[in-house]
Structure 1
C-alpha cells in the first residue's frame, strides 16, 4: 500500500459449516461486471477452492527473496526484480502470455508484469491486479505480498481448471506503487483509448491478510461491490465500505479514466474499534496491521483466516464477473459513459448521454446516478439528470462556499415514473467565472 495512502480498511482454515456455506454460495450465480453499457449474465461455473497453503507458499518465497536481497523487495532494488521473475516463471509454466512493461522512476528501472489467459472476448476484458513492491524498510509480506500471492494463485487456479470464460482475463503485478502508484499509472496512461474501452472492470487487492483483520469492500462500481458483498453475506461475515483510502491504491488510475473498479482490503495502520472487534474478532484499540511499512511485516504478520477468505473471494469474483455477455432478465444493470465533455467557464449547460436498453418497465425509485466531474471549484457546478422524456431531476445546486475540487458522488433519484429504456442525459453547467472543468464519466445503476 502506497506511502501516500490513508491507511484503513481490511486463525486457521474455514470450519466445516462455513465451507458448506461457501459451497452453497458459489453454486449460486451472481451478477456479473459492467461491460460497455451492459451487465453480464450470471456465472455458470463455481470457482474452485484456493488452497491457503499455496498462497502462503508464495509468501514464503517473497520472504526468502527479500532476505536474500537486503531485506526488502522495493522498487529499483534486486528483491523487486527477483519477485517479478518468480511470478512470471509460475505464469509462463501455467500457459499465460506474459509481458514485462518497463518504466523509470527516481532514476531506477521498474517493471509491471502483465499476464493474459488465452481466449475470451478480446473486446470485454476483466482485469485483476496487485502491487508487488514493498517499502525499503521490510519484506512487505502483508503489504503487498498478500494481494500479489492471492492474485497469482487465482491465476494459477484458472490454468488448472482450464477455464474458458466469456470475457478475456488479464492479471497484473504493479511496480513502484509505494512511490505513488507509478507502475499502474504508467500502464493506464500508455494504454490506447481503444484498449481502455475494452476493460469491463479492474479488481485491486492491496493488503488482504492483516493480522488484526477487518473485511472492507471498495465502494466503487456497484456490480463489483455487490459481487464481493454477496460472497461474504453467504459466509455470514459483515463487511464495511473501504473509504479512508479510496483512490490511493492501484485502482485509482483505472477509475480516473472511467473503468469500473472494485476490490478488497483488510486494514493498515488505523485502529480497530470495539464495534469492529465485536463483529470480526481481533483486538480493539490496536491497528489492523501494527507492522504496516515496518521491518516486522514478514511471514509472521499474516492472519491465515483473512488471507484464506479473501483469496477465495478473489476467485469467486473472477469466475463470476468473467462469465456472460448479455443483460440478465432481472437484477442490477449498469450503463455508463466515459467520454470527456468540457464544461465552459460561466457558460451554457452541456450534456452527456447514456442509451439504456434491455430493461423492462419503469426506472427504480432508487436509481443511482454516479458522477465524476473534474472541476477546480465545485461550488460553481449545477448538475441535473434528464430522463428520456426530458424531465429534469436536480442532483446538485451551486454553492459559493463550496471551494473544493471535483464532484465525485452518487445521487439517488426517484425515477419510478420514468420509462427505463431510452436516452438519459447528465446536464452540467458552470454558473460562475474563473474556474473550469469537464465531465469525466458518469453512470446509471438500475
Structure 2
C-alpha cells in the first residue's frame, strides 16, 4: 500500500454493477432527497458453493515469497530481482493450472516493471470480473502482509478455480500488479492500456491489499454497493462484524479502476492506524497498537501475519468471486439507497438532517434495516445520531459520549424498522451537543 492519502471523491450517486450480474438487484441512490432508480425483483438461481480456501496453502505461498525476498536482498521491490522472481513464481503456478497468462512490461524510474494477468478460459468475454493484488514490496522489507497476503490469497483462489474446473457465466481475470508502492504505477499502466471498449467489458474489480495484519480489523470498501454487500454478507454469516475501510482509501490499485468508472470493492485489515478500544472489543487484539506495527518495515515477514484474518479473508475472496461471477445470482443484501451530499454539522448547534427517498417498494421496512453512516468529525463523542422514519418515528443510533475523543463515525447500525412503511422519505438526523469540534455528514445509506 502506497503512503500518500487522498480524500475520496464525492459522487452524486452510488455506482452499481448491474451489468456484472445479469439479474442483479439495482442500486438506488439518492441525493438531496431524490432517488435515481428504484428497487426491483429478480429470480435467484443456484450458485455452486464457494470452496473453503486452505489457509495452509495460502501460507505456503507466503513462505515461498519470503524465500524469494531473502534470496534477493530482503525485498521484492520494483526493479529488483526479488520482484521479477516473485512474478515468475506466480506465473508458473498459474500456467500449470491452465490459466492463460500475460506478462505486461512497463518502465518506471528507469527500471523494468511487470504486471501479470491471468485469464481463466470461458465465460462471457464481454462481462469480465477481475480480482487483483499488488505483488511488489517496499525496498525496506519483504512485504509479507503488504502485500504478500493479498497476492497469496488470490493465487490460491485462482488455483481453487482450476481445481473445481469452475464454469462461471462471467469471464474471470486475476492480476498481480507491479510498482504499486511507487504510486499505483502497474495498475494505472494496465487500465490506460485498455481501449474504451475493453474497459467497458470490465464490470467489476476486487482489490486485496493487506488482508493478514497481525492486529487485524475487518474493513470492507464501500465504493460499489453490490460488491460491498457481498463481502458484508459473507462476514455476517461467520459472525464477524465489519467496518467501512477509510485508512487506505484511494491508496491502492482499486483507485486506478475507480477513476475510469469501473465498479470496485475489496478487503483490508489495517496498516499503521491504531486500533481503538471499541475495535479491540469487537475484533480482539490490542487497543492502542497499530493494526500492523511492521507496515513498510523489515519485520514484515511471515511472522507478521494473523492466520485467522488471512483465513477469513481468503474465504471471503472465494465467496465473492463465486457469487459475483454467476450469471443470474442476486447478491444477498437488497437494494441500497444513498445520499452522498455533504451536510455541515454546526458546532454545539441545532440538529441537521440528510434525506433519502425510498419508492417502489411494497410493505414495511425490514427488521434488520442496515443504516450505513459516514460522518467526518474531530470529536465524535459530541454527536447524537438518529434515524427518522417517514412517519416521524425516531430510532436512536448513537448517543453522545464526552470521553470518546476519536475522529469520525464510520459504522453500520441495524434497526428493527418492521413497523414502518418502507416507502417515503427517511432522514439521518445529527446534532453536535458540545463545543469546539466540527464536522459534516459525508454520506449515509439504507440497505433494504
1:124–1:249: structure 2 CA closer, same or farther, 3 Å change rule?
Answer: same
Aligned-residue RMSD, C-alpha: 3.2
After TM superposition, the structure 1 = structure 2 runs for residues 220-299 of structure 1, keeping only pairs within 5 Å, are 220-299=223-302
Q: CA deviation at 1:46?
A: 1.1
The answer to whether the 8 Å contact 2:219/2:267 transfers is yes
The answer to whether the 8 Å contact 1:39/1:333 transfers is no
In 1, Cα distance between equivalents of 2:363 and 2:90: 46
Tell me the secondary structure at the aligned position of residue 51 of structure 2.
coil
Q: CA deviation at 1:44?
A: 1.2
2:231 is aligned with 1:193? no
Tell me the secondary structure at the aligned position of residue 178 of structure 1.
helix
Aligned mate of 2:58, from 42, 55, 58: 55
The answer to whether the 8 Å contact 1:39/1:328 transfers is no
Q: CA deviation at 1:199?
A: 1.1
Aligned mate of 1:130, from 133, 138, 142: 133
Match of 2:415?
A: none
| TM-score, normalisation: structure 2 | 0.68
1:417–1:215: structure 2 CA closer, same or farther, 3 Å change rule?
Answer: closer
Tell me the secondary structure at the aligned position of residue 105 of structure 2.
strand
After superposition, the C-alpha distances for 1:100-151 in whole angstroms (9 at most, x for unaligned) are 1111111100000000000011111100000000000000000000000000
In 1, Cα distance between equivalents of 2:45 and 2:246: 28
Tell me the secondary structure at the aligned position of residue 45 of structure 1.
coil
Tell me the secondary structure at the aligned position of residue 75 of structure 1.
coil
Aligned mate of 1:34, from 18, 22, 34: 18
The answer to whether the 8 Å contact 2:21/2:327 transfers is no
In 2, Cα distance between equivalents of 1:43 and 1:207: 32
Match of 1:20?
A: none
Q: CA deviation at 1:4?
A: 2.1
1:178–1:5: structure 2 CA closer, same or farther, 3 Å change rule?
Answer: farther
In 1, Cα distance between equivalents of 2:254 and 2:447: 20
Identify unmatched segments of 5+ residues in structure 2. Answer: 8-15, 25-43, 338-358, 367-420, 426-445
Identify unmatched segments of 5+ residues in structure 1. Answer: 8-31, 335-358, 367-413, 419-443
Q: CA deviation at 1:172?
A: 0.1
In 1, Cα distance between equivalents of 2:195 and 2:219: 32
1:153–1:326: structure 2 CA closer, same or farther, 3 Å change rule?
Answer: closer
Tell me the secondary structure at the aligned position of residue 124 of structure 1.
strand
Q: CA deviation at 1:239?
A: 0.3
2:285 is aligned with 1:301? no
| TM-score, normalisation: structure 1 | 0.69
Q: CA deviation at 1:324?
A: 1.4
Runs of at least 4 residues off by over 3 Å: 36-43, 325-334, 359-366, 414-418
The answer to whether the 8 Å contact 1:6/1:244 transfers is no
